[in-house]
């Protein structure tokens, strides 16, 4: 059933690929039937859930109510849109922006819901800072209007400079990201040197101070929230352990205890793959006096004890030592092993990687360098074989030996890449994409240098530790992107068209929309950045997040629709960059504070 629900959520979310504006167009009837089926499935799950829980619990749960409201709204929207379509009026499918609600409400998205709750708790604090920030932008806009508005200045593109308060406010909002930084200042700066002070003050206050304050508020709230969650979890755990103790306790003398046999049974049930030596160790700790029973205090510690990682020192002999001891223990073999364990062995391989990097940088058309490629690969393979000869293989590839795995996988990837490369080149056909991936894999082998430097390993390990949290974060970003993509598609689809870059027809030069004539959007051939389907929308939103190239994108889409379209981009920046990116930075800060 769980799998079925996931399937329906995926279908429902991916419907945006087939609905107009579509990547793969399907008739409205098909997508609406699919949507109704999905809604029925969500409804069915809700009914099932209501039947197995008490009415109070069911109605108290916000997510059930959210699902119900979303289902009803979607049905209403479908009916309105369908009937308008029947009389050939084009409606807006606004309910599509609500679809991520189903993803958030499914039981496995607990982490995403927690993240949303955390954001909701941060909002009041953030809101006040944001209002103050907007106030600051407006005061600066007013100053700019008064200082520069009457001078008759012109921008590099010949447009009037700083004459409209709303345009100024937009430009200054964008200036916070420094995306338009020298350009927006130049006309004023050319008039008088002193005006640069205005812009420098603006950036210091609004970029450095306000953005730091946003980070401080988000991070502070995140820590507070985290502490609360941990406290709540610890309380719940203790509470449950006390309940378990009360169920299992027997009276011995004046105190209540749990018998050793019961304790052993319980431990076996909650941790089935625990080794018996590990279990004995835990029992020894819990039953300090060897009295044959565990008292309440020690019983409550069980959950914590089970969480402790016990490192079992592997004293297994190397398989070769048992099979061919006379060879493995020979003086030549011992010398090899000592060499491999020596520091210099690591250094030599670091130098080899460095030389390898230089060879990669050189022209690979040269046959000599092609050969060197094979030499390096065989050296790397030899290194791994030597290590496996020296260290016990199961210990070397143990579960916690991340860096050995990393090392080996990189070499295997490089090996596969080089072999593929040769076989493709010897054949007549070139697959550019495969060649590119092969190339990247071959270069990634340089990452092995990280393994040799202890401090580098610490940094990378710390970053890897936030991996699981990043998944939650990815879910959060997906939900926000999906909602913005759907709204963006409704607003901007088919306004801009992509033409092959080699086309030079007048239509292709303005992305198929005469409103773009002479704009920076068309000049820089941004036509590929459009909202004509879900995939393109996601790419545009990613670009906005990462490259902050507001001025061109927002300016272009405002030209083909209305100046108010800039609000969409400002809202996106406020939500994604101020909130989401700061959460990301807070994750990294926290990971480093814990690790260092």
**Segment 314-353, which members bind a second copy (CB under 8 A)?**
none
**Nearest approach, Cβ of 463 to a second copy (angstroms)?**
7
Looking at residues 377 to 396 of the shown chain, list those that interact with a second copy (rule: CB under 8 A). none
Residue among 178 and 425 whose Cβ is closer to Na ion: 178
Tell me: cis bond preceding 388? Omega within 30 of 0 counts: no
Which residue matches tokens 């499935």?
41
* Interface characters, 191-230, with a second copy (x: CB under 8 A): -xxx-x--xx--xx--xxx--xx-xxx-xx----------
Q: Smallest gap, in angstroms, from Cβ of residue 181 to Na ion?
A: 6
Strand partners, 257: 250, 295
CB of 190 to a second copy, least distance (A): 5
Binding flags for Na ion, 166-185, as an x/- string (CB under 5 A): ------------xx------
Question: To the nearest whole angstrom, how small is the minimum distance from the Cβ of residue 33 to a second copy?
Answer: 32
Whose Cβ is closer to Na ion: residue 112's or residue 577's? 577
Q: Which of residues 241-300 bind Na ion (CB under 5 A)?
A: none
Q: Smallest Cα–Cα separation from 18: which of 40, 3, 34? A: 34
Nearest approach, Cβ of 271 to Na ion (angstroms)?
A: 53
| Residue 423 tokens, joined | 């076989």
Cβ nearer to Na ion, comparing 169 with 179: 179
Among a second copy, Na ion, none, what does residue 436 contact (CB within 5–8 Å per kind)? a second copy
Contact 501, 525 (CB under 8 A): yes
Q: Which does 539 bind (CB under 5 to 8 A by kind): a second copy, Na ion, none?
A: a second copy
The reply on whether position 548 binds a second copy by CB under 8 A is: yes
Q: In this complex, which beta carbon is closest to a second copy, that of residue 182 or of residue 253?
A: 182
376 binds a second copy (CB under 8 A): no
What minimum distance in Å lies between the beta carbon of 193 and a second copy? Answer: 7
SS3 per residue for 461-517: HHHHHCHHHHHHHHHHHHHHHHHHHHHHHHHHCCCCCCCCCCCCCHHHHCCCCHHHC
Q: Is residue 543 a contact point for a second copy (CB under 8 A)?
A: yes
3-state SS, one letter per residue, for 210-266: HHHHHHHHHHHHHHHHHHHHHHHHHHHHHHHHHHHHHHHCEEECCEEEEEHHHHHHH
For the record, the structure tokens of 392 come out as: 């016990």
Closest CA to 586 of 192, 59, 141, 221: 221
Per CB under 5 A, 329 contacts Na ion: no
Task: Decide if residue 547 touches Na ion (CB under 5 A).
Answer: no
Cβ closer to a second copy: 201 or 322? Answer: 201
- 528 in contact with a second copy (CB under 8 A): yes
Q: What are phi and psi of 512, to 5 degrees?
A: 75, 10
* CA distances in angstroms from 138 to 57, 212, 292, listed in the order given: 48, 19, 75
Give me the residues that bind Na ion (CB under 5 A), please.
Answer: 178-179
């Amino acid at each position: 059933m769980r799998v079925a629900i996931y399937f329906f959520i995926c279908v429902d979310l991916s419907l945006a690929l087939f609905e107009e504006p579509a990547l793969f167009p399907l008739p409205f009837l098909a997508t609406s039937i699919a949507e109704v089926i999905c809604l029925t499935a969500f409804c069915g799950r809700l009914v099932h859930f209501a039947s197995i829980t008490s009415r109070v619990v069911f109605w108290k749960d916000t997510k059930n109510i959210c699902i119900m409201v979303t289902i009803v709204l979607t049905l209403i929207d479908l009916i309105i849109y369908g009937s308008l379509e029947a009389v050939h009026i084009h409606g807006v499918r606004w309910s599509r922006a609500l679809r991520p609600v189903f993803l958030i409400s499914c039981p496995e998205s607990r982490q995403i819901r927690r993240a949303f709750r955390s954001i909701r708790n941060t909002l009041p604090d953030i809101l006040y800072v944001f209002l103050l920030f907007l106030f600051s932008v407006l005061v600066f806009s007013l100053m700019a209007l008064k200082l520069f508005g009457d001078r008759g200045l012109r921008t590099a593109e010949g447009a009037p400079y700083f004459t409209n308060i709303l345009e100024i406010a937009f430009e200054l909002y964008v200036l916070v990201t420094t995306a338009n930084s020298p350009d927006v200042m130049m006309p004023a700066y050319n008039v008088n040197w002193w005006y640069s002070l205005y812009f420098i003050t603006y950036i210091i206050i609004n970029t450095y101070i306000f953005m730091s304050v946003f980070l401080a508020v988000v991070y502070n709230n995140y820590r507070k929230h985290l502490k609360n969650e941990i406290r709540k979890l610890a309380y719940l755990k203790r509470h449950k352990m006390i309940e378990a103790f009360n169920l299992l306790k027997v009276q011995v003398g004046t105190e209540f205890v749990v018998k050793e046999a019961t304790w052993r049974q319980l431990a076996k049930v909650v941790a089935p793959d625990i080794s018996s030596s590990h279990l004995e160790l835990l029992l020894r700790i819990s039953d300090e006096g060897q009295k044959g029973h565990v008292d309440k205090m020690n019983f409550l510690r069980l959950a914590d004890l089970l969480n402790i990682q016990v490192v079992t020192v592997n004293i297994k002999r190397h398989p070769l030592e048992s099979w061919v001891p006379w060879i493995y223990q020979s003086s030549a073999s011992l010398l090899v092993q000592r060499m491999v364990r020596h520091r210099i062995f690591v250094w030599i391989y670091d130098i080899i990687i460095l030389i390898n990097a230089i060879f990669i940088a050189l022209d690979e058309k040269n046959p000599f360098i092609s050969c060197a490629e094979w030499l390096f690969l065989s050296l790397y393979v030899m290194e791994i074989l030597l290590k496996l000869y020296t260290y016990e293989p199961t210990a070397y590839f143990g579960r916690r030996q991340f860096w050995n795995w990393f090392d080996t996988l990189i070499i295997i990837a490089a090996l596969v890449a080089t072999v593929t490369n040769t076989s493709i080149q010897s054949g007549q056909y070139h697959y550019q994409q495969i060649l590119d991936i092969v190339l990247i894999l071959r270069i990634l082998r340089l990452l092995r240098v990280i393994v040799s430097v202890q401090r580098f390993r610490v940094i990378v390990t710390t970053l890897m530790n936030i991996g699981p949290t990043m998944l939650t974060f990815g879910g959060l970003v997906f939900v926000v992107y999906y909602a913005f993509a759907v709204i963006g598609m409704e607003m901007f689809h088919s306004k801009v068209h992509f033409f092959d870059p080699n086309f030079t027809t007048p239509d292709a030069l303005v992305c198929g929309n005469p409103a773009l004539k002479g704009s920076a959007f068309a000049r820089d051939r941004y036509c590929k950045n459009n909202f004509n389907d879900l995939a393109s929308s996601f790419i545009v939103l990613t670009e906005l997040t990462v490259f902050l190239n507001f001025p061109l994108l927002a300016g272009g889409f405002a030209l083909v629709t209305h100046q108010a379209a800039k609000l969409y981009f400002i809202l996106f920046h406020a939500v994604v960059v101020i909130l989401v990116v700061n959460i990301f930075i807070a994750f990294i800060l926290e990971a480093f504070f814990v690790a260092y």
